[in-house]
Amino acid sequence: MLNFAPAFKDAFRALCLATFCALGFALPPAEAASGAFAFSQVAPGVYVHHGEVAETSPANRGDIANIGFVVGDEAVAMIDSGGSAAVGEAALEGLRAITNKPVRYLVNTHMHPDHIFGNQAFKAAGAGLIGHRRLPAALTARGEFYKQSMRDQLGAELADAVVITPPDETVDSERMIDLGGRELTLKAWSTAHTDNDLTVYDQRTRTLFAGDLVFLDHLPVIDGSIKGWLAQMPELKAIPAERVVPGHGPVSTPWPEALEPETRYLEALASDIRMAIADGVPLAEAAETAGRSEADKWQLFDTYNARNATAAYAELEWE
């Protein structure tokens, strides 16, 4: 467990907050957002922690993805768990400062370490883990590679503390989960950002947790299919949400306007790659030039754009 503040101050605050929640009152956003691991209330009973828009590093301990939770009358569902065991433990502690209701579910939106490497903390707390039907196979195929990669990025101590924790249950198409008077819709998507993307929709507040199917500020990253991602935009847009929690970027953004920057980037990248293929431009050259019109609109552009262009080229050259 992380040491955030003087013990007596933390213990007193946690006791007061737990008592307040036990009496059935909702905490105001300012209270929810206070503390070392901050959760902001973006809608009644919906709390989100803002991950830093940055690459994983020892300084941020893998805390680079938006994660959050929804509180029902009886229980809580956590959506993603953060990028290290330390982040998962801190997230659980932050959740407990807001509500003492049992964490019945942890929903993983996809396989990437910044979203799931805190799973073990919630498993130990009794949560049932749920993911896309392809998530277990993805973790089997990539788990050890992810751990080695995170060891290089986070250092041995933080990375070695992670136990890769797969879902207990999976979603083939759609599934409803009930938190007591509050139903969430889990939807498994076809290959887009990855081949195991899952979204969570809170019907009561019309809040969509999109995982990395939606990026804002942070350049979108293709680890699945650019064609599949673009093809699913109309279906994504049709979700009757009022707001979205993206995998990266602001913790809450109006919907469906939030899709516009990502769609523009992916369409520009696809168009540039198709033109390069038609003109016989080799992959190495296309990877350096495709999508450049978007360079000033995204953080981490130079980190991920060439990788995206390479993936898009490999896919689109076989059209």
pLDDT at residue 293 in the model: 98
Task: Measure CA 175 to chain center.
Answer: 19
Report the CATH number at residue 47: 3.60.15.10
Check pLDDT > 50 for residue 228.
Answer: yes
Q: Residue 186 forms beta bridges with which residues?
A: 175, 200
**Average pLDDT over the chain, rounded to whole?**
90
Q: HSE on the CB side for 91, CA within 13 Å?
A: 38
Q: 273 is written with which tokens?
A: 């790659």
Check pLDDT > 70 for residue 19.
Answer: no
Check pLDDT > 70 for residue 10.
Answer: no
How sure is the predictor about 160, in pLDDT bands with cuts at 50, 70 and 90? very high
* 222 and 303 co-located in one domain: no
pLDDT tens by residue, 143-154? 999 999 999 999
Containing domain of residue 306, as a range? 258-319
pLDDT tens by residue, 162-183? 999 999 999 999 999 999 999 9
pLDDT at residue 140 in the model: 96
With respect to residue 35, please indicate whether it lies within any of the assigned structural domains.
Answer: yes
* 193 and 294 co-located in one domain: no
What is the value of pTM for the model shown? Answer: 0.89
pLDDT at residue 36 in the model: 64
* 235 and 299 co-located in one domain: no
Q: 6 is written with which tokens?
A: 């003087």
* 62 and 87 co-located in one domain: yes
pLDDT at residue 26 in the model: 37
With respect to residue 189, please indicate whether it lies within any of the assigned structural domains.
Answer: yes
pLDDT at residue 257 in the model: 98
With respect to residue 51, please indicate whether it lies within any of the assigned structural domains.
Answer: yes
Out of 255, 288, 309, pick the residue that ends a domain: 255
Structural domain count, the chain: 2
pLDDT at residue 210 in the model: 98
* 66 and 139 co-located in one domain: yes
* 181 and 193 co-located in one domain: yes
* 178 and 268 co-located in one domain: no
Check pLDDT > 60 for residue 157.
Answer: yes
